[in-house]
Structure 1
Amino acid sequence: MSETSKVVLVTGATGGIGSAVCARLAHAGYSLILAARDIGKLEAACARLQRLGGQSFRWISVDMSSDASVTKFAQELAAKATVLNGVVLMPPQMRPTDECQPPADTWRQLFQSNFIGPLEVLKSAISIMQPEPSQGHRSKVVIISAITSVQALGNYATSNVLRCAWLAQAKTLAFAMGERGIHVNTLSLGGTLTPDYLASIGQRATRAGMTFDERLAAETSNIPLRKYGSPEEVALAVEILLSPFSDHITGVNLLHDGGFTRAY
Structure 2
Amino acid sequence: MSETSKVVLVTGATGGIGSAVCARLAHAGYSLILAARDIGKLQGACANLRRLGGQSFHWISVDMSSDASVASFSHELAAEGSVLDGVVLMPPQMRPTGECQPPADTWRQLFQSNFIGPLELLKSAISTMQPEPSQGRRAKIVIISAITSVQALGNYATSNVLRCAWLAQAKTLAFAMGERGIHVNTLSLGGTLTPDYVASIGQRATKVGMTFDERLAEETSNIPLRKYGSPEEVALAVEVLLSPFSDHMTGVNLLHDGGFTRTY
TM above 0.5, yes or no, is: yes
State how far apart, in whole Å, the 2-side matches of 1:166 and 1:30 are: 26
Cα deviations across residues 17-42 of structure 1 (Å, max 9, x unaligned)? 00000000000000000000000000
Cα deviations across residues 26-80 of structure 1 (Å, max 9, x unaligned)? 0000000000000000000000000000000000000000000000000000001
Residue segments in structure 1 that go unaligned for 5+ positions in a row = none
What's the secondary structure of 2:213's corresponding residue? helix
Residue segments in structure 2 that go unaligned for 5+ positions in a row = none
Give the TM-score normalised by structure 1. 1.00
State how far apart, in whole Å, the 2-side matches of 1:208 and 1:192 are: 21
What's the secondary structure of 1:192's corresponding residue? coil
2:205 maps to 205
1:93 maps to 93
State how far apart, in whole Å, the 2-side matches of 1:147 and 1:197 are: 16
Deviation, structure 1 residue 228: 0.1
What's the secondary structure of 1:164's corresponding residue? helix
State how far apart, in whole Å, the 2-side matches of 1:73 and 1:100 are: 34
State how far apart, in whole Å, the 1-side matches of 2:174 and 2:63 are: 26
Taking only the aligned residue pairs, the percentage that are identical comes to 90
RMSD across aligned C-alpha pairs, in angstroms? Answer: 0.4
State how far apart, in whole Å, the 1-side matches of 2:260 and 2:97 are: 20
Which residues of 2 match residues 225-244 of structure 1 at below 5 A?
225-244=225-244
Give the TM-score normalised by structure 2. 1.00
Cα deviations across residues 131-178 of structure 1 (Å, max 9, x unaligned)? 000001000000001000001000000000000000000000000000
What's the secondary structure of 2:8's corresponding residue? strand
State how far apart, in whole Å, the 2-side matches of 1:139 and 1:191 are: 29
What's the secondary structure of 1:98's corresponding residue? coil
Number of aligned residues: 264
Cα deviations across residues 178-222 of structure 1 (Å, max 9, x unaligned)? 000000000000000000000000000000100000000000000
Cα deviations across residues 232-262 of structure 1 (Å, max 9, x unaligned)? 0000000000000000000000000000000
State how far apart, in whole Å, the 2-side matches of 1:100 and 1:58 are: 41
What's the secondary structure of 1:128's corresponding residue? coil
Deviation, structure 1 residue 6: 0.1
What's the secondary structure of 2:141's corresponding residue? strand
Deviation, structure 1 residue 98: 1.8
What's the secondary structure of 1:59's corresponding residue? strand
